[in-house]
Structure 1
Amino acid sequence: MTERYEFELVFGLPKGKYDPFELSDAVFEAGFEDAVVGTGNARLLSVELEAAGGDAETAMLAAAKAILKNLPAGTELREVRPDLVSQADVAGKLGISKQSLQKKEMPLPVTAGLYRIDEMEEALIREEKTAKRSPRFQVSSARNWFRAGQAARRLNARIALKTLDSYSLEEADPAPKA
């Protein structure tokens, strides 16, 4: 069964100057015409998109590979989001104010106001179920985004542990060569 997932891919570009329109075209040519492309940092390309797949990790990797083929040689996948999220991120996805979200019982932050997305989802589902009156949000409204969280965390861990090559997005041998 194919599901839809909402996520963001952050690519690191090799040194050089890049035309933001050409970078956007590379994403669109990969088949993601509805993607939101960010080029605010000269060495980073952020692509927010929705993609379908049998599972989130497969959908994310397929999208990243398709986009990577169109980007300059030496580009690497730096990060997959959502993994760690702020209360503002979550509130924005739910269509409520950050202040409204702060009134809810939240999990402990991981660091500096960032939370694991799956822990936030669990807390919000619990809030929906135990609220005395109907909450002003529905977790299901951001379902595609929340479901991408655990896969984003796994992919980021694989990149950090070097079991996934960030340049080719193929399995890598993390063992150092003697």
Structure 2
Amino acid sequence: MWEFVLKFRLPLGQEEPTAWLDALFEAGCDDATVGTGRRGSIALDFSREAVSAETAVRSAIADVLKAIPGALLIEIAPDLVNLADLAEIVGCSRQNIRKYAAGEIRAVAAAFPDPVYTGNPSLWRLVEALIWLERNTDIHPDPRSVELARVASEVGADIQHRRLTGLIAAE
């Protein structure tokens, strides 16, 4: 079972999320909890059976696009996480993860991955943090979590590339 969240922007003129519930169910999204709280967008929290994270995520995206032609994928999770999220995913304390991120554990020579956003809170790519933890600490993340985070990171990068390409083309 693969658990992930996909968020879509709805097509112009068809921004009422509840109007799409039957179509989503009929398209195979009966394994998702659908969030309809924001006009113009829809979020689906999937628990999908598949042989791989790649298959689960890509099939879910295809099912949503089949149900909602013209929808635009805008976010996937888990991809960007703060230290509290990371601690929860790997099953340790937030303070322990914070110490790794701050370089306060002397037994670890490798620097923690740089955040992709420095702010309040700072955000890291989950896949980078999980791989770093596996290689540099006694924390061994579930390989399935690493696989899903890798796929989410790739899809997230595709989303960002599409956005940037659209901005550059509009110049």
The TM-score bracket by the shorter chain reads 0.5 to 0.7
Partner of 1:151: 151
Q: Distance in 2 between matches of 1:27 and 1:104?
A: 42
Q: Does 1:119 align with 2:128?
A: yes
Q: TM-score, normalised by structure 2?
A: 0.67
Partner of 1:79: 75
Partner of 1:108: 114
Residue segments in structure 2 that go unaligned for 5+ positions in a row: 102-111, 163-168
Q: Deviations over 1:11-60 (max 9, x none)?
A: 1112344153x444444333343423223321221212133445433431
Amino acid at match of 1:51: R
Deviation at 1:109?
1.1
Q: Distance in 2 between matches of 1:159 and 1:32?
A: 21
Q: Distance in 2 between matches of 1:160 and 1:128?
A: 33
Q: Distance in 2 between matches of 1:154 and 1:63?
A: 15
Q: Percent identity?
A: 33
Query: Matches of residues 41-56 of structure 1 in structure 2 within 5 Å?
Result: 41-56=38-53
Residue segments in structure 1 that go unaligned for 5+ positions in a row: 130-137, 163-175
Q: Does 1:128 align with 2:138?
A: yes
Larger deviation: 87-96 or 76-85? 87-96
Q: Distance in 1 between matches of 2:44 and 2:72?
A: 13
Q: CA RMSD in A?
A: 2.9
Q: Distance in 2 between matches of 1:122 and 1:74?
A: 35
Preserved contact between residue 11 and residue 44 of structure 1 (Cα < 8 Å): yes
Q: Does 1:18 align with 2:16?
A: yes
Q: TM-score, normalised by structure 1?
A: 0.65
Partner of 2:87: 91
Partner of 1:61: 58
**SS where residue 104 of structure 1 aligns?**
helix
Deviation at 1:76?
1.4
**SS where residue 147 of structure 1 aligns?**
helix
Q: Distance in 1 between matches of 2:74 and 2:15?
A: 19
Q: Distance in 2 between matches of 1:124 and 1:11?
A: 31
Preserved contact between residue 57 and residue 155 of structure 1 (Cα < 8 Å): no
Q: Distance in 2 between matches of 1:63 and 1:154?
A: 15
Q: Distance in 2 between matches of 1:49 and 1:81?
A: 10
